[in-house]
Structure 1
Amino acid sequence: MKGTSLNSIRAFEAVSRHLSFTNAANELGVSQSAISQHIKNLEMSIGCSLLKRDTKRIALTIEGGKLAEVAQRWICDIQHVVESLSLGNRFKITVAAPSIFTISWLLPKLNEFYSVNPDSKVELVTSDSPSFSYDRNLDLVIKFDKEDLPGFDLVGSYKSKLLVVASEKYIRDFGLFLGADNFSSHKLLAIQPGPWLKNTGSSTWSTMGNFLSKTLICEPQFQIYEDVNLAYAAALHGQGWVILDYLLVEDDISSGRLRPMPDVSCASDIHVFQRQNSLGGMLIIFYEWLHQKFSSSELASFFLLESQHREDSLV
Structure 2
Amino acid sequence: MDLCCRNTREVKRRHAAPLNALRTFEAAARHLSFSTAAQELFVTPAAVSHQIKHLEAYLGTSLFQRSHRSIVLTPEGQALAHTVGDVLRQLDTALDRTMSSPSCELRVTTMESLAAKWLAPRLHRFHRARPDIRVRISTSDAHLDFVREGLDVGIRYGPGGYAGVRYEPLMDASAFPVCAPSLMAESPYPLAHPEDLRHHTLLHDESASGRPGVPSWSDWLEAAGANCVDAHRGPVFASIYLAQEAAIAGHGVAMGIAPLVEEDLRQGRLVRPFGTVSENAYRFWMIRQAGQRAGAAEDAFCAWLSEEAADTLPR
> What's the TM-score bracket when you normalise by the shorter of the two chains?
0.7 to 0.9
Q: Would the alpha carbon gap of residues 67 and 282 (structure 1) be closer, same or farther in structure 2, given more than 3 Å must change? A: same
Kindly provide the CA deviation profile for residues 130-152 of structure 1, in whole angstroms up to 9, marking residues without a partner as x.
58655421111111224333331
Residue 212 of structure 1 aligns with which residue?
220
Partner of 1:222: 234
TM-score scaled to structure 2, two decimals?
A: 0.77
Change in Cα spacing, 1:54 to 1:25, as seen in structure 2 (3 Å) is farther
Following the alignment from structure 2 to structure 1, what is the Cα–Cα distance between the partners of residues 42 and 183?
57
Q: CA deviation at 1:89?
A: 6.9
Give the secondary-structure state (helix, strand or coil) at the position aligned to 2:132. Answer: coil
Aligned partners of 2:155 and 2:68: how far apart in 1?
A: 45
Tell me which amino acid in the other structure corresponds to 2:238.
E
Deviation string 1:15-71 (CA, Å, 9 cap, x unpaired) is: 223521772895699954233220354472xxxx54231234434457645653553
Change (3 A) 1:25 1:126: closer
Is it true that 1:294 corresponds to 2:309 in the alignment? yes
**Residue 244 to residue 72, structure 1, CA distance change in 2 (3 Å):** farther
Where 2:131 maps in the other structure, the secondary structure is coil
**Identity of aligned pairs, percent?**
20
* Separation in 2, partners of 1:81, 1:90: 16
Which consecutive residues of structure 2, in runs of 5 or more, have no partner in the other structure? 1-9
Task: Tell me what 1:168 maps to.
Answer: 181
Mapped partners of 1:275, 1:82: distance in 2 = 16
Q: Specify whether residues 257 and 201 from structure 1 end up closer, same or farther in structure 2 by C-alpha distance, changes over 3 A only.
A: same
Q: Is 1:84–1:90's contact at 8 Å kept on the other side of the alignment?
A: no
Counterpart amino acid of 1:83? D
Is 1:185 equivalent to 2:202 in the alignment? no
What do residues 149-184 of structure 1 show as CA deviations (whole Å, max 9, x unaligned)?
A: 3331014443342221111122232411503x4432
Is 1:257 the equivalent of 2:282?
A: no
Distance apart, 1:211 and its partner CA: 2.7
CA contact (8 A) 2:18 2:55 kept: no
Q: Which amino acid aligns with 1:211?
A: D
Contact 1:97 1:142 in 2 (8 A): yes
| C-alpha contact (below 8 Å) 1:177/1:183 kept by paired residues | no
CA separation of 1:189 and 1:95: change in aligned 2, threshold 3 A: same
* Structure whose alpha-carbon radius of gyration is higher: 2
Pairing partner for 1:52 from 65, 82, 95: 65
Name the counterpart of 2:248.
236
Helix, strand or coil at the partner of 1:264: coil
Mapped to 1, the partners of 2:137 and 2:159 lie a distance apart of: 20
Look up the equivalent residue of 1:36 and give its one-letter code: K
Task: Choose the corresponding residue for 2:298, options 280, 283, 291.
Answer: 283
The residue aligned with 2:56 is: 39
Matching residue within 73, 88, 95 for 2:108:
95
Q: Which residue of 2 aligns with 1:313?
A: none
Q: Which residue of 2 aligns with 1:149?
A: 162
Shift of 1:108: 1.6
Does the 8 Å CA contact 2:173/2:257 hold for their aligned counterparts? yes
Q: 8 Å contact 2:105–2:133 — kept in the other structure?
A: yes
User: How far did 1:190 drift?
Assistant: 0.9
Query: What is the aligned counterpart of 1:273 among 273, 287, 294?
Result: 287
Aligned length: 287
- Pairwise CA distance, 1:191: 2.0
For normalisation by structure 1, the TM-score amounts to 0.77
Q: Deviations over 1:194-213 (max 9, x none)?
A: xxx86x15567x33446325
Q: Is the contact made by 1:11 and 1:24 (CA closer than 8 Å) also made in structure 2?
A: no
CA distance in 2 between counterparts of 1:236 and 1:39 reads: 62
The secondary structure found in structure 2 opposite 1:144 is: strand
* Distance of aligned partners of 1:25 and 1:256 in 2 relative to their CA distance in 1, 3 Å threshold: closer
How far residue 227 of structure 1 moved from its aligned partner, in angstroms, is 3.0
Q: Is the 8 A contact 2:179 2:270 kept in 1?
A: yes
